Structure 1
């Protein structure tokens, strides 16, 4: 034990005693006064005070020792907890050097998934690299800011963006790879037109619900902390059946290319964009102005819903021997179906073998038709749409249970 020594001008001598910490005998209680004189004041203490001080000194030393042990243990635990927490947090966006993208794709000689998409391994992850072209100049700080906003967005119905790379006027967007096939390919099998992987009503309603909730998230909940303040959300601009992935594992839908429009510089005025559209999915006002908005996304979603229910293409042309052709829109045929007696049953995809709730089907068609209204101001918000589609999906499940249909499917999206 360490006893403090104090300098004093007049201290009466006192007798040292053994204060072993293992001694459990009572402490002395004598009260001989020791007078300590300093330049500023006089202090009085007693031998019992000295004994108490010695005892407290030991207690403090023991406490400090235990606190150090607890602190070390807590530090180790905290590091483990932080490491575990880090695994669950959204990843920081990756800014990949172009040389890394080039090496991963073997200088873009890897087999292509499309004209501008390559599947490869990047930093030990299975990814898809999409090449896009900037529509307008964007400086790197702005690009990093937009990329961070998009990469922070997480939803089960979105294919996740991992990062990007820039080279000249091109931007390379890196998305996670998800096994599956596009909705367009699932609905229209080129090798076997009479076959579809989506051969139950419930499977199609599940897909409609997934896409509705994903687009509602993009419009109304993504982009938190953006420059637009409380006006959260992005415009997708590429909603169509070929941009919706159907997962091989359980036939759930994921929206592809989220963030591509914003990062490519198509956005202007906060949340609008200019780009070329896809025939059959373009809203009337978009065809005139070329400006995409959330309402034009709603229009494209409505077309996808009608495709999903009918199995038909958004827009197709029938050519005749005399050189003439007939243009058929799924929107036009749907409008005719809800006005004719028995038209809904005739219009819905024949490959469902007439096994679906007709009342739910008609209401679902009407939701799609509300989305493709000519006046953008009269089209519903995706928040309302997602709620309506969810209600109809639940009614479809109840119908399945009553009918005793088995909707637990094991499927493969491999070519047939």
Structure 2
């Protein structure tokens, strides 16, 4: 359906849903009965007065149509009104489900509310996509690329849904397998959907798999919790689903609207408040008043509601509130929920005051003791629940260096987990900077959740990782088990993540020499994990954000939250797919079999980042290049790498060196894991490349120095010639020749070179 057929113009709205009368006679009742569609079988009371007399002035933008089936809202389609909230400013509707389908040719595609007083509620709706190969995106706008006719879309939200097989789809769950959900963007008043195939992004088009049914996808916006996914929804129309629209009054913010009393909608005894997304404003009754703020609020007689407004003696109603009186000889506010009544003069002896003070102190002391014991019991319960006894036993058995920290130690180290100590946030938790009592600086990871059924595996992995002693692996110092979710303590790395240094345009680019060293050290660390003597470890989430660098640009592999231990007698483990889009191994994605070659693929993507300084997934690139790995592979096959390689790398190393590195990257990015090299082989090749790079830089330095010395020699010759002309040869004979020294390669001793004017340079 064309987008233009959904445009809603405020000029064609016939009847009005919000305000009615700008003037009412003083004799009229201030409490006007709500409107109801006549002859309607649906009993819905509207909180707005709807004008039926053409002589009355009303607010444009809220049109409904009364049908036999009930009230309908006009938004480019017929939507039945389910309910309207005057206080919270929303309307619930149902009708043709606003959805777009990738394959059924029945897409509604776009609904445009930009010319109306409505927008999609981001708090009460959910964006949902259903399909086995769907990256459903909410398109925000499109930009033309250069002087071409092609466009690049910009997006404000979306989600990814996939399924490798029908057996992996579970009805009732919408977590990414067959169905996915995400929040609706704030201020969304135009729904324009676009689909992208995940398989086309992860693999070249010739390698994409899937039948027509698996590539058939749909997406829509519906009220939160109104849709329950079923595997049968992949093959049928979803019917009508409710959704929630926030309404508001157009006309700027409250200050701007209040300048024109003729169009200002908040009537007497009400106040204006601005819509969260800045689109307009709404009205509400002031404190002590009730009713319709768009017509005029009336005073609440609190004295008639003794349950909610209780007085100890006598209630007196006043405009916008009430007062309670006190009996003779008493003072206070007279309210049961306030100060109440007390005698004006109450003589108290010194002994009574002392006893009262003792009782207060005793009460506080008792409360403190009870609270402290309760907290200690809770810590002990969490400690046992999180496998504390097992960890103590493992530390004793394996003589592991892991330390068990207490909650109070880490609270003191992080200033009670203050926000100003946060140094990073990720998908698995928040990382704080802490300073222990011995002034050791540490990083403390506070995870979001933990699987209690996997607690024994968590303890085993913690013991294994704590015994890894590699200079390029962030060392785990210990953990705290006295909280609901265990806290992990690592050594602190001061210079942040490699991702930040590569993609922050405000920073000076890292030299290729440093990048190559970071790549070599990272490969060595991952290879060490794969070849661990006791139990090999697969990282499973290798990416530039998980590679930390210190002030000397030394690489440190971190974040083992997704890591898995692989028994020495197995080549792979079968597990739920986990990782980061853009770095994820396609073979692991489709087979769910995790091998050490999965880390090799992810590391290959990191090498591409180092070579190009481009992000793994970017919608700013042309559509065929959203996935960096696929884009790099395609350019390499076409001998067009100069279009994507960072100019800093080309200037330092040259294209011949770039081609050698690219050859290694292409081996790491092979679609079949068996065709990729092992990580230890990658580390060896990178070390060899690093040595060649050192020689290359050394030769460049020697050449530059030689050119400088030759230039200086020529300048000295001219200067001596000038002295000869001015002073004569006799004075020149008294000038000692300039001496140079160099280090003899055979004897490794410092030798005197020939005078500068007649010497042969040792290079």
- Taking structure 2 as the reference length, the TM-score comes to 0.36
In angstroms, what is the RMSD of aligned CA positions?
Answer: 2.8
Cα contact 1:236–1:261 (8 A) shared by 2: yes
Give the equivalent residue in structure 1 for 2:25.
none
Give the equivalent residue in structure 1 for 2:545.
242
* C-alpha distance in structure 1 between counterparts of 2:661 and 2:424, whole Å: 32
Cα contact 2:667–2:677 (8 A) shared by 1: yes
Deviant stretches of 4+, over 6 Å: 268-271
> Matched residue of 1:316: which SS?
coil
Deviation at residue 108 of structure 1 after TM alignment = 2.0
Give the equivalent residue in structure 1 for 2:415.
106
Greater share of residues in helix: 1
Give the equivalent residue in structure 1 for 2:464.
149
Give the equivalent residue in structure 2 for 1:206.
517
Q: Which runs of 5+ in 1 are unaligned?
A: 1-89, 226-231, 407-416
Cα contact 2:536–2:566 (8 A) shared by 1: no
Cα contact 1:110–1:119 (8 A) shared by 2: no
Give the equivalent residue in structure 2 for 1:175.
490
User: How many pairs does the alignment contain?
Assistant: 294
Cα contact 1:236–1:297 (8 A) shared by 2: yes
Distance change >3 Å, CA 405–CA 159, structure 1 → 2: farther
Tell me whether 1:372 sits opposite 2:674 in the alignment: no
Give the equivalent residue in structure 1 for 2:562.
261
> Matched residue of 2:665: which SS?
helix
Cα contact 1:345–1:354 (8 A) shared by 2: no
> Matched residue of 2:478: which SS?
strand
Deviation at residue 359 of structure 1 after TM alignment = 2.2
Cα shift readout 1:293-337 (whole Å, capped 9, x = no counterpart): 3221111100000110111111111289xxxx6652221232233
Cα contact 1:318–1:326 (8 A) shared by 2: no
Q: Which runs of 5+ in 2 are unaligned?
A: 1-398, 704-763
Give the equivalent residue in structure 2 for 1:134.
450
Deviation at residue 398 of structure 1 after TM alignment = 1.1
Map 1:6-405 → 2, pairs under 5 A: 92-111=401-420, 112-115=422-425, 116-124=430-438, 125-132=440-447, 133-135=449-451, 137-139=453-455, 143-167=458-482, 170-191=485-506, 195-196=508-509, 198=510, 200-221=511-532, 224-225=533-534, 232-248=535-551, 250-257=552-559, 259-262=560-563, 272=573, 274=576, 276-290=578-592, 292-318=594-620, 327-341=625-639, 343-352=640-649, 354-404=651-701
* C-alpha distance in structure 2 between counterparts of 1:353 and 1:294, whole Å: 31
Distance change >3 Å, CA 268–CA 203, structure 1 → 2: closer
Deviation at residue 275 of structure 1 after TM alignment = 5.6
Deviation at residue 349 of structure 1 after TM alignment = 0.3
Structure with larger RCO (C-alpha < 8 A, sep 6+): 1
* C-alpha distance in structure 2 between counterparts of 1:377 and 1:306, whole Å: 21
Deviation at residue 201 of structure 1 after TM alignment = 2.3
* C-alpha distance in structure 1 between counterparts of 2:604 and 2:452, whole Å: 30
* C-alpha distance in structure 1 between counterparts of 2:661 and 2:650, whole Å: 18
* C-alpha distance in structure 2 between counterparts of 1:137 and 1:167, whole Å: 18
Deviation at residue 289 of structure 1 after TM alignment = 4.7
> Matched residue of 1:155: which SS?
coil
Cα shift readout 1:169-228 (whole Å, capped 9, x = no counterpart): 522111001211211111112436xx41x1x3222211111111011011112xx34xxx
